[in-house]
Chains A and B, each alone.
Chain A
Amino acid sequence: MPDLVLLLAASLPSVASINLCADQLVLTVAAPEQIATVSWLSADPEESLLAAEAARYPLNYGSAEELLRFRPDVVIAGAYTNAFTRTLLARLGYRVVELQPESTVAEIESNVRRVADAVGRTERGDAIVAGMQARLHELATHRPAHPLPAVVIEPGSFTVGEHWLANELMTLAGLRNVAAEQGLDRWGSLSMEALLTSAPELVVLTGYRSTQPSLANAVLDHPALARLRARQRTAFVSGSYWACGLPQSLDAVALLQAAALEP
């Protein structure tokens, strides 16, 4: 029934997304026919979990003038996407949906529903959220009995604190975030000393463009850190799993759990 498919597609609003996190939610929730454009970062495999999907659509760099040419019915943006662009698009009569960054799984679910409503696919949003709930139940059955002390080290010795998505994913996987226990609120840098005295049993590294030289990556070669890595268990998890809150972020829970349960 190709005509019916076309009719359905025509009734769905066309969507433009101008933020990496919004892009990935749109790619997950919206129907392919209704996606007019996504932003350029989402087609970069170093940044995005859905780079291959994003590369099928025209890419934008997030300026109002280029978005106008796509004539979208809805524009999905992040709360920290250029405020001038968001304001101008709203002023020009476009429907702009701003997504707050997600720091909990509940906030991911709420953003999934917001995007689903905005693109006219409420049932699809419900189905994704139901799938996430089922996945969480399944993951909970494998959670280790005793939480394993762990720490995330991102390039530049950045780490995650209590009110940050990666912290919740660690907890769901059965890990204890030692940086959060030391009082780190959201995100920040953990000094080498604090890291060593906190005695994590699992070190989670997130590599970012690790083949490109940068000061941030050089930090990971610090001798103290190298010794810690040699002594403790190390897991590599792409930072893309929690840089944006996505249904796919739960994959990180599975990866962390596997690392924690490794004999």
Chain B
Amino acid sequence: MMVAGDAAPDDAAAGRRRLSAWLALLALVSAGASLVIGRSSGGPTFGFGAPELASTILFDIRLPRTLLALLVGGTLGLCGAALQGLLRNPLAEPGLLGASSGAAFGAVLVFYFGLAGAESLALPAGAVLGSLAALAVLYGLAARRGDFLTIVLAGIAINAFTAALTSLALNFAPSPYAALEILFWMLGSLADRSLAHVWLAVPLMVPGWLLVIAASRGLDALTLGEETAASLGFDPRRTQWLVVGGTALAVGGAVAVTGVVGFVGLVVPHLLRPWVGHHPSRLLLPSFLGGAVLTAVADIAIRLMPPGPELKLGVVTALLGAPFFLQLIMRPRPGAAA
């Protein structure tokens, strides 16, 4: 395998471009496959079925699902890469800041306790509010002592707190069936989403991405340490809030329509880091593309399963991602001290 640090700078840049090009191609191929693979009561189907149903199946059912797989997966990959860079901690992932669990709790409240009825847009609205509330608490806790450790610890606490609130909601669920639906929501799914969900998520995701990308040079400077970065003219606090705010927006939008999809944000940056080296900024685009590919492939795998109720997306992303991840961390690394 090629490790960026070993190659001459020009070769390395060309290598990174090739990596991104390959990942983009993979994303396109998996999107194409996602559009032609469906699922009926008898298991997977290929093509679009009867001619008079074809356009409905393609445009109203599979297209939203495919778009959301790419956008949500990309969001998780991008935010995971940025957070790992910001916190200089390999365990960082979007769930860490409480954005995911806050969004999940908001959705559960709205949806299963009839705060706003079962209309399709009420659920995402609740998720975004939950995500922003988690972020606001994080900001309130960490604003005065804005160091990274405080943010991580506060994020973990908020995460645990919102997860506990969701469990509490499970206890008070109006019926055992509602409790089951809440449980499924925590495992994520792309099934039966419509284009309305895409339009709901995109206005949150795109600004979120832009905020995160705006932090990319600051992230590179931070690899030299906070003081060095400050002396180079990068305000660590600005970088920090760009990444945290961007993540909350983008992940809030993602969780709002898919539920909690685990593992993508954690594993994708790790899988791609050996190709791009240790500059966080160079990891952002490949992680976005890689997250999109992993999520789309996982969602295709769901449809290829033998007949039965659909598996949940978070289950499959972990099943697919974990073996790669383990292989990666068990392999002896060149320059393992780094």
A contacts, CB < 8 Å to B? 37, 40, 58-66, 68-69, 78-80, 82-88, 91-92, 98, 101, 186-187
Contact B40 A66 (CB under 8 A): yes
B194 touches A86 (CB 8 A): no
- By the criterion CB–CB under 8 Å, are A66 and B41 in contact? yes
A-B contact pairs, 26 of them (CB 8 A): A37-B41, A40-B41, A61-B308, A62-B309, A63-B192, A64-B61, A65-B62, A66-B40, A68-B49, A68-B56, A68-B57, A79-B118, A80-B175, A80-B178, A80-B181, A82-B181, A83-B123, A85-B191, A85-B192, A87-B192, A87-B194, A88-B194, A91-B120, A91-B196, A92-B60, A98-B118
Is the Cβ of A186 less than 8 Å from the Cβ of B57? no
Residues from chain A with a CB closer than 8 A to the CB of B38 are 65
Q: Which residues of A contact B189 (CB under 8 A)?
A: 84
Give the residue name and chain of the A residue nearest to B121 (CB).
A87
Interface bits B147-167 vs A (CB < 8 Å: 1, else 0): 000000000000000000000
Q: Pick the contact of A61: B41, B123, B194 (CB < 8 A).
A: B41
Are B57 and A101 in contact, with the CB atoms below 8 A? no
Asked whether, in the complex, the Cβ of A65 is within 8 Å of the Cβ of B57, the reply is yes
Residues 34-60 of chain B, each 1 if its beta carbon lies under 8 Å from chain A, else 0? 000011110000000110010011001
Interface membership of B111, Cβ < 8 A: yes
Which chain B positions have C-beta within 8 A of A84? 120, 189, 191-194, 197
Please name the 10 residue pairs, one residue from A and one from B, whose CB atoms are nearest each other, closest first. Answer: A80-B177, A87-B120, A85-B192, A84-B192, A64-B192, A88-B192, A66-B40, A61-B309, A66-B41, A65-B61
Q: Which residue of B lies closest to A61 (CB)?
A: B309
Closest to A87 in B: B120
Apart from A61-B307, A68-B49, A87-B120: 15 A-B pairs, beta carbons within 8 A: A62-B309, A63-B192, A63-B310, A64-B61, A68-B61, A69-B49, A69-B53, A78-B177, A83-B111, A85-B191, A87-B119, A87-B194, A88-B61, A92-B60, A101-B177
Determine if A88 and B60 form an interchain contact, defined as CB atoms under 8 angstroms apart. Answer: yes
Q: Which residues of A contact B39 (CB under 8 A)?
A: 63, 65-66
Instruction: Report A-chain residues with C-beta under 8 Å of the C-beta of B41.
Output: 37, 40, 58-61, 66
Nearest B-chain residue to A188, judged by Cβ: B171
Contacts of B119 in A (CB 8 A): 87
Within the assembled complex, what's the spacing in Å between the Cα atoms of A61 and B77?
31
Assess whether B203 is interfacial by the CB under 8 Å rule: no
Are A83's CB and B174's CB within 8 A?
no
Interface-central residue, A69, A84, A86, A187, by most chain B CB under 10 Å:
A84
Residue B40 contacts which of A40, A65, A78, A79 (CB distance < 8 angstroms)?
A65
User: How many angstroms between the C-alpha atoms of A92 and B64 in the bound complex?
Assistant: 14
State whether A61 and B57 are in contact (beta carbons under 8 Å apart), knowing that A37-B41, A69-B49 are contacts in the complex.
no
